[in-house]
Structure 1
Amino acid sequence: TEKREATMSSRNPERKQRLVGQDSHLSRIFLLLLFVVSAQGVTPNPEACLVSSSVNGSSISCQPPAQIPHSLPADTIFLAVEFFNLTQLPADFLQGVPNLQELHLSSNRLEDLSPKFLLPVPQLKVLDLTRNSLTRLPPGLFRISAALCTLVLKGNQLKFLEASWLHGLKALRHLDLSENNLHSLPPGLLENFPDLLTLDLSNNYLQTLPPDLLRGPLNLERLHLEGNRLRVLGEGLLAPQPKLRYLFLNDNRLASVAAGAFRGLQKLDMLDLSNNLLTTVPTGLWTSLGKAARNLKDGFDISSNPWICDQNLADLYRWLVANKDKMFFRNHTRCSGPEALKGQRLLAVAESH
């Protein structure tokens, strides 16, 4: 049980599974292995970047105290320039590397990017801008980035977004906007991203979401909304995504969930509603969950909510008993009232009801 609970928990980032940027991290691990096992193309000089060559092209990784090269091999396909505290990059920084596929600029202090920054790299597939100081993106930045499939903007200082900033992205599959200062989202943000699989909006300051947020993607699989300030989960928000598999709503301020909020989610493998303000839920909320053979196969978490264990939870009681083998953190899922049941495990109350 503890092993499965560790898989379920999304409050600890190190224990939560994420797909955003996963391909890029695997690529970087692979490259580091290449550096270790192959002496060819590796420069031991600490002031030089690590360089690896293959039949596909050159891969370059630069971290301090290495010096950032003034020019790059024309066949460069992977470039990482990280931990340099750079506030600016020249507009022509990527000039001469038309085949670049992955660009990692994490852990700098970039404040803005030139609208022309990506023009020299039309084949770019992964752009990682994690932990910079970006407050906005220049319109037109992605106008020839039709191949880009992973965009990571985690840990920047974005307070708002404009849908126009993302125009030009046609193959986007993973979008990470977590750990910014977002208080709201514009309508139509995802309408041009039919291939989007993962959306991460966790750890922002969102109190509400536009009703059309999920209209556009056709096969969304993972939705991270944890760590915001959401108070209500409405009827139609999730309706456009019947193939959704992982839904993280934990660590919000949810006090109300509409009866039809999960209707149509026939493939949901994991649901996290923990650490909210739920005292009760409407009859019928769970109707579509836990029935199919694979439904909620990775479990659900409704712990750390102030549940009022009265007759209004009768529908939840029945559902819990039928799906108790998929329930995580049972000892942390307890009644806050009425007084006679305060502190008792919710599942025990359900089984005795």
Structure 2
Amino acid sequence: MNALFALLCLAYFCHGALSCPALCKCYTRRAEVVCNEVPLTEFPSEGLLRNTTMLTIQLTNITSISERHLDVTPLLQELHMFSNHLQHLPPNLLRGVPHLHTLDLTGNKLAELPANVFSHAPLRSLVLKDNLIEKVDAEWLPDNSTLTWLDLSGNLIRKVPSVLLQKLPQLESLDLSNNRLEMISANSLDKLTKLERLNLQDNKLETLDASVLESSRNLTYLFLSRNKLNKIPPKLFQELTELRVLSLDDNQLSHIPPGSLDQLSSLDEDGLDLTSNPWQCDGKVEYLWRWLQKNKKKLFLPQTIICASPPSLLGRLVMSLTASELNLQS
């Protein structure tokens, strides 16, 4: 029995161990390699098994990756390279990994990316979170991309070209939070008919075009927190009958237009966040006031929805106001 085990070790387990790159750990049975040692300064091509399907390189001092590096793992399906020091990516990076469906480049130092950098692989998930990207280029991706998840959060992006988003008919989740977006073009989301999750929080949006969400009928999560929104177009949410969560907190909203929340019957309990807005409690707040009375359970922290003006009602809960205080006819 011992002799048989030794033979198996030599033929399989030991071979996997001997083939593992320095400063990495290899899990032969599931074809996975993990490298998370700070002293690692170069992509660990030497020693990688050709049948590797998952490669994680994190918290290292690697500054570059090339098409040649990835050629040694033609069966790669997932590549996770977060919190390294990548500064540049070459064109056609993924040409040698035709099975790659997940690419995570979170927390690097990427600023400008070349055309075709994410072509040649059937990517479903692309994460570029927490880099230094200022400009988004439609040429990064092929036409009719297979992406279902795109995360560009935590960058320096001011505008996302409509032509890029029009290449993403399969997209289900789009995260553009924590950037410097000042506007979203009216037709930019028209092709994203499968979109379920849209995160635009922590930007500089002052308003949204009334038609921008017309084609987003499958949207279930919409995050608009911590922008500079000072008004909501009356029909902005008209098609969002599947919406479960809507965050509008920490904006500059003083009123909600009549009828604008009427289609949101699918909101979860605590699914609507309106906190930290300067609500003006005059006649124009009537619609919000009546909606709050009927939908209290759908509100997140309703006790924080308070009047910022007029001075006589400063600090009052909007829900607690009376018709006479709002000068409304009964």
Q: TM-score, normalised by structure 1?
A: 0.82
SS state at 1:175 partner: strand
- Using the TM superposition, give the Cα deviation of residue 259 of structure 1 relative to its aligned residue in structure 2, in angstroms: 0.4
Of residues 279, 286, 293, the one that matches 1:321 is 293
Q: Which moved more, 1:324-333 or 1:126-135?
A: 324-333
- Using the TM superposition, give the Cα deviation of residue 86 of structure 1 relative to its aligned residue in structure 2, in angstroms: 2.1
The size of the alignment, in residue pairs, is: 308
- Using the TM superposition, give the Cα deviation of residue 125 of structure 1 relative to its aligned residue in structure 2, in angstroms: 0.7
- Using the TM superposition, give the Cα deviation of residue 185 of structure 1 relative to its aligned residue in structure 2, in angstroms: 1.7
SS state at 2:53 partner: strand
Contact map agreement 2:106 2:130 (CA 8 A) in 1: yes
2:69 matched residue in structure 1: 93
1:305 aligns with 2:277: yes
- Using the TM superposition, give the Cα deviation of residue 317 of structure 1 relative to its aligned residue in structure 2, in angstroms: 1.2
1:190 aligns with 2:165: yes
Change (3 A) 1:104 1:110: same
2:241 matched residue in structure 1: 266
% identical equivalent positions: 35
1:137 aligns with 2:110: no
Change (3 A) 1:320 1:210: same
Residue by residue over 1:12-39, the C-alpha shift from the partner in whole angstroms, topping out at 9 and shown as x without a partner, is xxxxxxxxxxxxxxxxxxxxxxxxxxx9
1:233 aligns with 2:208: yes
Q: Which moved more, 1:305-314 or 1:180-189?
A: 180-189
1-structure distance, mates of 2:291, 2:66:
58
Of residues 213, 217, 239, the one that matches 1:242 is 217
- Using the TM superposition, give the Cα deviation of residue 47 of structure 1 relative to its aligned residue in structure 2, in angstroms: 5.8
Of residues 132, 135, 154, the one that matches 1:157 is 132
1-structure distance, mates of 2:256, 2:270:
22
1:13 matched residue in structure 2: none
- Using the TM superposition, give the Cα deviation of residue 211 of structure 1 relative to its aligned residue in structure 2, in angstroms: 1.2
Change (3 A) 1:65 1:132: closer
SS state at 1:232 partner: coil
- Using the TM superposition, give the Cα deviation of residue 96 of structure 1 relative to its aligned residue in structure 2, in angstroms: 2.2
Q: TM-score, normalised by structure 2?
A: 0.87
Contact map agreement 1:148 1:169 (CA 8 A) in 2: no
Change (3 A) 1:246 1:42: farther
SS state at 1:312 partner: helix
1:60 aligns with 2:33: yes
1-structure distance, mates of 2:290, 2:120:
53
Determine which structure has greater relative contact order: mean sequence separation of CA pairs < 8 Å that are 6+ residues apart, divided by chain length: 1
2:51 matched residue in structure 1: 75
2-structure distance, mates of 1:318, 1:168:
47
Contact map agreement 1:144 1:168 (CA 8 A) in 2: no
2-structure distance, mates of 1:169, 1:154:
23
2-structure distance, mates of 1:321, 1:96:
63
1-structure distance, mates of 2:270, 2:288:
19
2-structure distance, mates of 1:197, 1:189:
15
2:314 matched residue in structure 1: 342
1:287 aligns with 2:259: no
Residue by residue over 1:149-171, the C-alpha shift from the partner in whole angstroms, topping out at 9 and shown as x without a partner, is 00000011111112111225621
2-structure distance, mates of 1:286, 1:81:
46
SS state at 1:189 partner: helix
Residue by residue over 1:292-346, the C-alpha shift from the partner in whole angstroms, topping out at 9 and shown as x without a partner, is xx43455110000000111101111111111101111223221101111100112
Contact map agreement 1:271 1:296 (CA 8 A) in 2: no
2-structure distance, mates of 1:171, 1:90:
23
Task: Spell out the pairing of 1:29-68 with structure 2 (5 A cutoff).
Answer: 48-54=23-29, 57-65=30-38, 67=40, 68=44
Residue by residue over 1:56-105, the C-alpha shift from the partner in whole angstroms, topping out at 9 and shown as x without a partner, is x5100001157535231011000011111322124311112111000011
Q: Which moved more, 1:334-343 or 1:166-175?
A: 166-175
1:280 counterpart letter in structure 2: H
Unaligned runs of 5+ in 2: 1-12
Residue by residue over 1:158-199, the C-alpha shift from the partner in whole angstroms, topping out at 9 and shown as x without a partner, is 111121112256210000000000011212221121111100
Unaligned runs of 5+ in 1: 1-38
1:16 matched residue in structure 2: none
Task: Give the greater-gyration-radius structure (CA).
Answer: 2
SS state at 1:328 partner: coil
1:80 counterpart letter in structure 2: T
Q: Which runs of 4+ in 1 moved over 4 A?
A: 39-43, 350-353
Contact map agreement 2:67 2:96 (CA 8 A) in 1: no
How much is the aligned-residue C-alpha RMSD, in angstroms? Answer: 2.3
